[in-house]
Structure 1
Amino acid sequence: MDELIIKYLNKAASEEDKTTLLAWLKADETNREYFLKTQKLWNLSNIHFMPEDEITKALDKVNMNISVIENRRQKNRLLLFRIAAAVIVICMLSVGSFYMGVNFNKYANPEPVTMNQVIMGNGNRGFVTLPDGTVAWLNSGSKLIYPEKFEGKSRSVRLDGEGYFEVKKDEKKPFFVETENMIVNVLGTIFDIQNYTRKPVAETVLMSGKVEVTLKENNKKFILQPDQKISYNKETGQYKLTQVDAEEYAIWTNDKLILDSEKLSTVLRKMEHWYGVTIQTAPNLPLDHRLTLTIRYEPKEEILKMLSLILPIQYTINGDLIEIR
């Protein structure tokens, strides 16, 4: 069973493996506690994305170093658009503040707290309601860590990926979202954060209210107004504050994208936000050509193929980058 757990945490488990693991977890409370111990050490050891040939080494490390960890039943309300099985919700106990490198320690809780972790599977989107009533939407491949109960003088969560937050206003308890490169401080507002580990640029877009964004590398602070975006290049350290149409950055939270007689330039821009990709266009494309279409859960490859059949364009896909010529 140890090997199966490691395969699951390493995202190498088959559907049969997952079914076996789920049955084992349901069979006994001790099994669930053991799984959470393993999960905690796995997170702390930063061995999430190991190749298959290193699973045995990871297993040895887990078996030698598992420490005692308490577990409380998670209380979570989660809505998925399509595949509920792709979402994992677990709880773990963390001593003191669970944030690494966070620089708002004056708000950190000194007492041990039970943490919830929500992971959104690839190709899925959904939301979770936090203990204070804040709603956090998670895009494909995103992870959110938050306490079972917000105690102390702040409300703090950690995000890896993209999240859209509708924060419950509480002037006495500021709300913090920490990512790898940014810390966003709000009182009550709506905003979108994108900070995937695999992408070179992190960004925060404000829909309404006001937020303070702190860049971790240089501790620079920015106050965003509605329809403003702060972008930070992780490779160069450069940052840029721009005016945008903030609503476009939240279209991925809808169950469908409706395009009614939109220019190709607009279609491609909205597809960027819908699929979480970057689209580069070559000169002389028919960007003024108007299109009407509705996108629901079709993969980007299917939509691009359709566009290439009705317009004189070709495309190549390289991970999160799409080039159209």
Structure 2
Amino acid sequence: MKRPEHIIEDLITRQLDGTPLTDTERRELQEWLEASEANRDAFLRAYKAWGNARLAETRFNTGQALENVMARIAEASRPRSFLRPQLRRLGIGIAAAACVMLAVVGYYRLQPSTVPDIEMFIRQADTPVFTQKEVQLVLSEQKTLLLETQKSTIRYDSTAIRINNAEKTIPKKEAATFNQLVVPYGKQTTLTLADGTRVWINAGSRLVYPVVFEKQKREIYVEGEIYMEVAHDAERPFSVHTGKMDVCVLGTKFYISSYGRDRTQEVVLLSGSVSVAPAGRSDRGIRIVPGQQAILDTSESLEVREVEAESYISWIHGYLPFDNDPLSNILERLSRYYNCRIECTPEAEALTLSGKLELKDDPAEVLKILSATAPINLQISGSGNFRIDYNPTTNNPN
């Protein structure tokens, strides 16, 4: 027996609001979801609206959403009386989401199905683990590939996913809508997306992207450090989301650093033009030109600086440059790259160095080279950790 529509709407609202459902109600909702693709699409849209309303006002204009939804309900000549208990029971943010959900069930259900939103996928995906040895390519909930090579290459073409120059080929039909690439500490990966865009992913980074981009837009999500060469497509702007920052381009070359534990996030432009804004705040976006760096701080303020852009992507060529940089900054980058602990005395941290280091496979080799050219002593523990002390008797060629 088909349940009245307003009962299904109530079940979805309670499910999203966290109100417990009985076993019978859960079965009813599950049966409704399994009944058609349109029902599942309606629920996905409701989930997205609910999540956005919960995040922050900057991510969801609740007043405008409510106004738009009520207009659509009126156009469809649907009764509004049952909305009032929902609005009283839920907070204003959730009320707006509930209204969006109701309109989705009653109005959007008739519209064509769309690809699930990348932000929804991010919320549902497992937290990545960067400490394991292999690169993880998550194709679906049931299929994850582990890549053991130091520098892996992955390419998506019209029919398949080709890994390490077609050493392994996966039919695209085996992959879900969104794939996830997790690059552990000490490794790098090069990825070619379906539109021809190339992405270099540094150690300790995560990338989420669609197997096939939508017709109107291209968007990916990143945590960590990447360099991109975006394939030009005037009809489909390319957006990169970090959770705190949105970067929008058409076709260009740029670098992003968005490690979760850093207080700032940054974009460096090598060619073309990009717009940078706090997440969900395109009205506060700024445009930078090649040779400029945009820095987003914890207060969501953006600062622009002139920089030597090429130095920010030196890691894709296997070396780390530094120009009168504090030793503390150099060691922080090495510690992140190799996932190792490097203790350093305050006197040594204050040293400034210039030059470049080759990023060898073994961090001990890199630190030994550093200690041979700077007034420091290096100690290596049995557990693979390092300690650096200031040694003024060592000659510093700089």
Report whether the alignment pairs 1:216 with 2:279.
yes
Aligned to 1:206: 269
Deviation at 1:78, TM superposition (A): 4.4
Note if 1:180 corresponds to 2:243: yes
1:230 partner SS: strand
Alpha-carbon distance in 2 for matches of 1:207, 1:310: 31
Structure 2 contact 357–366 (Cα < 8 Å) conserved: no
Give, in angstroms, the shift of residue 127 of structure 1.
Answer: 0.8
Partner of 1:48: 127
**Match runs of 1:14-53 below 5 Å:** 44-45=123-124, 48=127
Indicate how the Cα distance of structure 1 residues 49 and 118 shifts in structure 2: closer, same or farther if over 3 A, else same: closer
Gaps spanning 5+ residues in structure 2: where?
1-119, 130-139, 146-155, 381-386, 391-398
One-letter identity of the residue aligned with 1:203: E
Counterpart CA distance in 1 for 2:331 and 2:349 is 20
How many angstroms apart in 2 are the aligned matches of 1:136 and 1:180?
19
Does residue 138 of the first structure (1) align with residue 201 of the second (2)? yes
Amino acid in structure 2 at the alignment position of 1:140: A
Residue 296 of structure 1 and its aligned partner are, at CA, apart by 3.3
- CA positional deviation for 1:195: 0.7
Contact 1:91–1:116, Cα closer than 8 Å, also in 2: no
Return the alpha-carbon distance in structure 2 between the equivalents of residues 300 and 157 of structure 1. Answer: 31
Q: 1:155 aligns with which of 204, 211, 218?
A: 218
Query: Superposition pairs for residues 123-134 of structure 1, below 5 Å?
Result: 123-134=186-197
Find out whether 1:232 has 2:296 as its counterpart: yes
For residues 70 and 283 of structure 1, the distance between their equivalents in structure 2, rounded to whole angstroms, comes to: 48
SS class of match (1:76): strand
1:194 aligns with 2:257: yes
- CA shift, 1:302, in A, is 4.0
Does the C-alpha gap of structure 1 residues 166 and 275 become closer, same or farther in structure 2, counting only changes over 3 Å? farther
- Whether 1:244 and 2:302 are equivalent positions in the alignment is no
Question: Equivalents in 2 of 1:226, 1:324: separation in Å?
Answer: 39
Distance 1:284 1:177 in 2: 34
Partner of 1:9: none
Match of 2:69 in 1: none
Task: Compare 115-124 and 275-284 and name the one that shifted more.
Answer: 275-284
SS of 1:146 mapped into structure 2:
strand
Q: Which residue of 2 aligns with 1:76?
A: 161
**Distance between the aligned counterparts of 1:205 and 1:76, measured in 2?**
29
Cα distance in structure 1, aligned partners of 2:312 and 2:361: 19
How many angstroms apart in 2 are the aligned matches of 1:116 and 1:298?
28
Distance 1:223 1:170 in 2: 19
Shift of 1:297: 2.0
Q: What is the root-mean-square deviation of aligned Cα atoms in Å? A: 4.5
Amino acid at match of 1:115: F
SS at match of 1:308: helix
Higher Cα radius of gyration:
2
Once the 2 structures are TM-superposed, how far is the Cα of residue 205 of structure 1 from its aligned partner?
Answer: 0.7
Stretches of structure 1 that go unaligned for 5 or more consecutive residues are 1-40, 51-67, 94-113
Question: Aligned equivalents of 2:349 and 2:259: distance in 1?
Answer: 32
Between the aligned residues of both structures, percent identity stands at 28
The answer for the alignment partner of 1:24 in structure 2 is none
DSSP 3-state at the match of 2:161: coil
User: When you count helix as a share of all residues, which structure comes out higher?
Assistant: 2
Report the alpha carbon displacement of residue 47 of structure 1 after superposing the two structures with TM: 5.7
- Mapped partners of 1:169, 1:152: distance in 2: 14
Q: 1:42 to 1:282 in 2, by over 3 A?
A: same
TM-score normalised per structure 1: 0.56
Please say if 1:255 is aligned against 2:340: no
The number of residue pairs the alignment matches comes to: 231
